[in-house]
Amino acid sequence: MYWSKYFIPTLKEVPVGTEAISHQLSLRAGLVHMLTSGVYSYLPFGLKVLRNIENIIREEMEEAGARELFLPCLQPIELWKQTKRDEVLSEVMIRFKDNKGKEMCLGPTHEEAITDLVKNFVQSYRQLPKVLYQIQTKFRDEIRTRFGIVRACEFIMKDAYSFDRDEAGMKVNYEKMYQAYKKIFKRLDLDVVIVAADSGAMGGDISHEFMVPALIGEDAVVTCEACGYQGGVSQDGSDNISCPECNEIKLKKQVAIELGHIFQLGTKYSAAQQALFLDEDGKQKPIIMGCYGIGVSRTIAAIIEKHNDENGIIWPKEVAPFQIEILPIGSGDNAAEIVELANKYYAELKSQGFDVLVDDREETAGRKFNDADLIGLPLRVTIGKRNLANGNVEIKVRKTGEVILVPKEDLTSKVQELLK
């Protein structure tokens, strides 16, 4: 892709009113644009990152045995009244009446909707287990939006649901999702702290949160420096608390972003919504459920929070919008040669499966270099007059800052080596 044909509206200055590094850099690097408080447009650059994250999630969900579907955003309130969660989530639920006078909402989550779907098709133990997931937009009328896309009114989630005949089967699927989440966050280059958690309005007896310690967040985790215990705590709680494992007062508290939460729901929804199956003993029983969520859009913010420097974003290879940026720098007699070589590299690297961005703008070298650091692609290839005179081109590794001079004819093989 050529920069001049793309849409990357970078900003030099830090936007007013932004406190989080991830919020600042996502706006400055042209990933998102705020339409109104808590509501964001994803620009082409940000959408590519979002799709890369989604693809990683899809691959691991499918590997764990989940199958994708897509549920509607519009939901009738009558479903929510069955579980009484229309009262529990009343403060954040966006409700309205349609033109026929029917009470509706924009789904803040989808437990009721998926339970209603499954109960229409699953009637026998022979049809279980089932694990279904979706990547869908959620809507919540947040009183206080924070940190850009970390806490927004419209956001993207992956939610999966398991349906089993008994608790033993549900625990098997729960463990599969637990392990799948560990793989997902490892591929996203995020070190997560996994803690037992309160199930809250979701229900169920057992749940775990997947937290990323960061400079921002609405949660906190503690680590015991004596025994290694890790757990979740209230962010505004006391710092002087004892470890529940070894009783030492050596707990280090860190602010954290919650990215994932998994729940053993049991029969909370199936019993309330009459999602029943006929077991082999001839008795009707409520389906045993589990629920597994990941905040997909806020994952972008978490990655930026953990992977940045004073110059901009440093994208991990699997989520970067492009792997390579080519910068042709030159004017005068050799300008045509530099552009020709840039186009040659672009074609060769694309043919080898790499996603490549060429900065072909008529901008100063300084602006191109600054923007390259800001958008943070893993490799930057610079074709300049001075190095080219000696038959070389320059590769800069964004993560380490390492600069490598290579003969111009070896560029593509060196890039393959660095990105393997």
Q: What is the DSSP string of 104-169?
A: EEE-S--HHHHHHHHHTT--BGGG--EEEEEEEEEE---SS-BTTTTB-SEEEEEEEEEEESSHHH
pLDDT of residue 106: 97
Q: What's the pLDDT tens digit per position in 100-125?
A: 999 999 999 999 999 999 999 999 99
Q: What share of the chain has pLDDT > 90, as a percent?
A: 86
pLDDT of residue 203: 65
Q: What's the pLDDT tens digit per position in 182-194?
A: 999 999 999 999 9
Q: What's the pLDDT tens digit per position in 265-276?
A: 999 999 999 999
Token representation of residue 338: 């530099």
pTM: 0.94
Domain annotation for the chain: domains and CATH numbers: 3-210+257-309 (3.30.930.10), 324-419 (3.40.50.800)
From 189-203, 332-346, 348-362, the region with the lowest mean pLDDT: 189-203
pLDDT band for 321, please (50, 70, 90 cuts): very high
Token representation of residue 49: 């990152």
pLDDT of residue 111: 97
pLDDT of residue 243: 86
- Tracing tokens 């470890």 back to the chain, one arrives at 243
Give the chain's radius of gyration (CA, Å): 25
pLDDT of residue 201: 67
